[in-house]
Structure 1
Amino acid sequence: MAVDDLWFSSKRQYGPDGRKLPAAQTSRHGRGKRWRVRYTDDTGHKVERLFERKPDAERFDRQVHTDVARGLYIDPVAGRESVAAFAARWLAGQMHRGSTAELMRRTFDRHINPVLGELPLIQVKPSHLQAWVKGLDLAPSSARVAYSYVVSLFGAAVRDRAVATTPCVGIRLPPVEASEHLILTNEQVHLIAEALPARFRALVYVGAGLGLRHGEALGLELEHVDFLRREVRVEQQLTVIARRRPFLAPVKTRTSRRVVELPQITADALARHLEEFPVIGATVSDETNRRDPKERTAQLIFTNNPGRPIHRATWSHFWKPAAEAAGLPPRTGFHALRHYFATLLIGAGASVKTVQMALGHSSPTVTLDTYVGLWPDQVDRTRTLVDNALLGVPQRAVESK
């Protein structure tokens, strides 16, 4: 459609002599922008844009009609939506659940929106993101996680055609230094258990003897433990997010649903625990089937004193002094028991696949990335493989001068 002149009427009048008269002024003459472009976007909505100068309007008219025809149209109004507003809609549509969804929401609220939230999507530049990354008061690994959320958000904005391109280009991130996992000693495992109240001691041997995540351990029900077959089924986890009571949720990944062997020391600890603290049933929301959430009485093995599911804050109140009593560094969590379990398997010569299945990792790659430095002699080094292959054949090229 041609560019419209809003200051002069497009209807032409003719004089008595048949000559065309000058265009008549409209009621908008001299007020506001003069030139208008009207078009229908790729969703069928009629849109108009106003311009001060005719060349600008004509250039935009040519470009927008070409973009609509090619399916490359970018809605200029959508691009003016703020980062915070778009993020709220984007987060609501994510498939993440439980603690992951809570981490994403908290990261946006605390670290992304306070700096970038008020900016329109279309105005965010790589320089904005670089300055934001530099100013993040987070550990390098956490800063990279926060940045990954921003990358995903602008990827969604591009797919929604709110912006033409993502500003997440060429951003330098803080380097993450390789850190070694704290490996507990056998004595430290026992010291932690001894320092905890009797109600929580068996949890230490569940972590160290089965390699369960904390949520998996707290989500164990009586039916999941088979003392005769010496097995434990991991089928769910107890999840805690802000402003909600603890609830049962699916395990972290598909491979996290597994059966692990029950060592004698863990079996004995569980038997003593059940004798001293019999299961009485705890009412929880069961959301292991997301399509059919329901309230039920769960036969949880581990509960707090009133017989309710253990909240993260409650556990931290007891774990912290116990970890200090065992001589562990500050901020050492329950996950250290899982690392202890993994190192036991690796030290005994277990394969990567065996450790992966026992820990419930999503792939052997995750296991290798986490514990590769702990397979020192079980895996042949590259130089040994090369030497074994080449030293057994004549070395004329090496020996000749």
Structure 2
Amino acid sequence: MANIQKRPNGKWRARYRDLEGKEHARHFDRKIDAQRWIDEVTASLVTGQYVDPRSAKKPFKEYAEEWRAIQPHRPSTAKAVAQHLRCYVYPAWEKRSLGAIKPGDVQSWVTSLTTTHGLAASTSRTVFNTVNAVFRAAVRDRMIPHNPCAEAKLPSVPRKKIVPLAVDQVRKLSEEIPARYKGLVLLGAATGLRPGELFGLQARHLDLLHATVSVEQQIQQTAKHGVYVCPPKTARSHRTVPLPRVAVDAMKAHLRGFPADGPEGWIFTAPQGGPVVYTHFMDASWRPACAKAGIAKGTGPHSLRHHYASLLIKHGESVKTVSERLGHTNAAMTLNIYTHLWPDSEERTRAAVDKAYADQSADAQPQVDEAA
């Protein structure tokens, strides 16, 4: 129920009751403004878009902590989100309410991430995504009517061209790395699995008879949770990848030298047993092997994935196929990373246009009357 009354002081008081029966009122100089406000509130109540004005007064930090506590984040993501909020968000907005943070405040804060905190553009975008998720949830929970992050302009990220490892480099690396990880290098280069997916492989995931490997889990590592098994990165990361002959041979040789302990046994293990620990693997095996193989410093295991993608592209596989093999969320992501590796089509496009105009020219030629 809503009504408008003129007060003794000449103001117009507009009142309404919300869905819980609580009364809200505002005063206006003009009746038309009071009526407009009542109409807007009534429309929001009818359409289910109503937001209690008191909800917006909740402190940003309080709501963000409540949001963070109920998110189904994996440990590594939870750690990153907590760090984003603690280091870059709460110092700016800890004492602000949800409704007091306006689009201009968000834009100023986004700019400060690079100018004041010195974050790279990609890192600034990641931190922004955390804040954006908080505000989206606040809109969904009817705490605020609009997301102040909606039209924020983010720093552009320079596109980094990937230079894949050559086949000779992969072979050299597989020879220099300790024997227990030779198969890991060759399998990664022949399937494009992420490092965590390679570490998470168990014997039950490998089907040498049908030459396939199934990605169903991965191994991750964080300071707080240690080494743990978790689902693949995204829903599309669950996939079955065909094994080329080089991978089948490499896996047969690996399992002869380092047999898995039953179907649940890890295919690749740490020297002391158990799953591979990323930090130990990098320090004791990967980096020394790269140095011996003459591979640039800073090259990580993810380079095997790029090598695999480059081979598929070189031999004419479509964007869709490459995306599916890599377990990317969509083909656009694949193009964004590897578009520079697709063969140049300049000559094909020139030929296509020239052929079209040549055909039209032929059709336009006047017919000669032979009897004339």
TM range (shorter): 0.7 to 0.9
Q: 1:260 is paired with a residue of what secondary structure? A: strand
Matching of residue 305 in structure 1 with residue 271 in structure 2? yes
Kindly indicate which of the two structures has a greater share of residues assigned to helix: 2
Matching of residue 69 in structure 1 with residue 42 in structure 2? yes
Q: Which of residues 86, 91, 97 is equivalent to 1:109?
A: 86
Q: 1:298 is paired with a residue of what secondary structure? A: coil
CA contact (8 A) 2:202 2:264 kept: yes
Matching of residue 160 in structure 1 with residue 141 in structure 2? yes
Q: 1:394 is paired with a residue of what secondary structure? A: helix
Q: Which of residues 339, 350, 361 is equivalent to 2:328?
A: 361
CA contact (8 A) 1:211 1:338 kept: yes
Partner of 1:78 in structure 2? 55
CA drift of 1:365 comes to: 2.9
Q: With the length of structure 2 as denominator, give the TM-score of the two structures.
A: 0.78
Matching of residue 275 in structure 1 with residue 242 in structure 2? no
How far does the alpha carbon of each residue in 1:33-88 deviate from its partner, in whole angstroms, 9 at most, with x for none?
xxx9996433x163678x9xx769x9999787655533254333322223222222
Q: Alpha carbons of 1:156 and 1:63: their partners in 2 closer, same or farther (altered >3 Å)?
A: farther
CA contact (8 A) 2:110 2:124 kept: yes
Q: Distance in 2 between matches of 1:110 and 1:197?
A: 40
Q: 2:241 is paired with a residue of what secondary structure? A: strand
Amino acid at match of 1:145: T
**Greater displacement, 376-385 / 151-160:** 376-385
Unaligned runs of 5+ in 1: 4-35, 282-296
Q: CA RMSD in A?
A: 3.6
Partner of 2:102 in structure 1? 125
Partner of 1:192 in structure 2? 173
**Greater displacement, 179-188 / 89-98:** 89-98
| 1:161-180 correspondence to structure 2 within 5 Å | 161-168=142-149, 170-180=151-161
CA drift of 1:216 comes to: 1.2
CA contact (8 A) 1:349 1:378 kept: no
Q: Distance in 2 between matches of 1:378 and 1:252?
A: 33
Partner of 2:229 in structure 1? 248
Q: Distance in 1 between matches of 2:218 and 2:95?
A: 37
How far does the alpha carbon of each residue in 1:84-105 deviate from its partner, in whole angstroms, 9 at most, with x for none?
2222222344455454454434
Q: Distance in 1 between matches of 2:38 and 2:131?
A: 31
How far does the alpha carbon of each residue in 1:228-254 deviate from its partner, in whole angstroms, 9 at most, with x for none?
332222222223345224333332334
Q: Alpha carbons of 1:178 and 1:164: their partners in 2 closer, same or farther (altered >3 Å)?
A: same
Q: 1:233 is paired with a residue of what secondary structure? A: strand
CA contact (8 A) 1:38 1:46 kept: no
Partner of 1:285 in structure 2? none
Q: Alpha carbons of 1:388 and 1:264: their partners in 2 closer, same or farther (altered >3 Å)?
A: same
Q: How many residues align?
A: 346
CA contact (8 A) 2:18 2:24 kept: no
Q: With the length of structure 1 as denominator, give the TM-score of the two structures.
A: 0.73
CA drift of 1:189 comes to: 1.6
CA drift of 1:195 comes to: 4.0
Matching of residue 314 in structure 1 with residue 280 in structure 2? yes
Amino acid at match of 2:275: P
Q: Which of residues 68, 74, 89 is equivalent to 1:91?
A: 68
Partner of 2:8 in structure 1? none
Larger radius of gyration: 1
CA contact (8 A) 1:98 1:249 kept: no
Partner of 2:7 in structure 1? none
Q: Alpha carbons of 1:225 and 1:161: their partners in 2 closer, same or farther (altered >3 Å)?
A: closer
Partner of 2:244 in structure 1? 263
Q: Distance in 1 between matches of 2:163 and 2:75?
A: 27
CA contact (8 A) 1:67 1:73 kept: no
How far does the alpha carbon of each residue in 1:88-125 deviate from its partner, in whole angstroms, 9 at most, with x for none?
22234445545445443443333333333442212212
Partner of 1:213 in structure 2? 194
How far does the alpha carbon of each residue in 1:363-391 deviate from its partner, in whole angstroms, 9 at most, with x for none?
33332232222221479754443333223
**Greater displacement, 378-387 / 117-126:** 378-387
Amino acid at match of 1:179: K
Amino acid at match of 2:42: A
Q: Distance in 2 between matches of 1:380 and 1:352?
A: 20
CA drift of 1:274 comes to: 2.4
Amino acid at match of 1:366: M
CA drift of 1:184 comes to: 0.8
Q: Distance in 1 between matches of 2:157 and 2:356?
A: 36
Q: Distance in 2 between matches of 1:135 and 1:381?
A: 46
How far does the alpha carbon of each residue in 1:117-141 deviate from its partner, in whole angstroms, 9 at most, with x for none?
4422122123322232222233212
Over the matched positions of the two proteins, sequence identity in percent amounts to 37
Q: Distance in 1 between matches of 2:346 and 2:327?
A: 22
Q: Distance in 2 between matches of 1:325 and 1:129?
A: 48
CA drift of 1:213 comes to: 1.0
CA drift of 1:147 comes to: 1.8
Partner of 1:341 in structure 2? 308
Q: Alpha carbons of 1:243 and 1:261: their partners in 2 closer, same or farther (altered >3 Å)?
A: same
Q: Distance in 2 between matches of 1:55 and 1:348?
A: 71
CA contact (8 A) 1:240 1:247 kept: yes
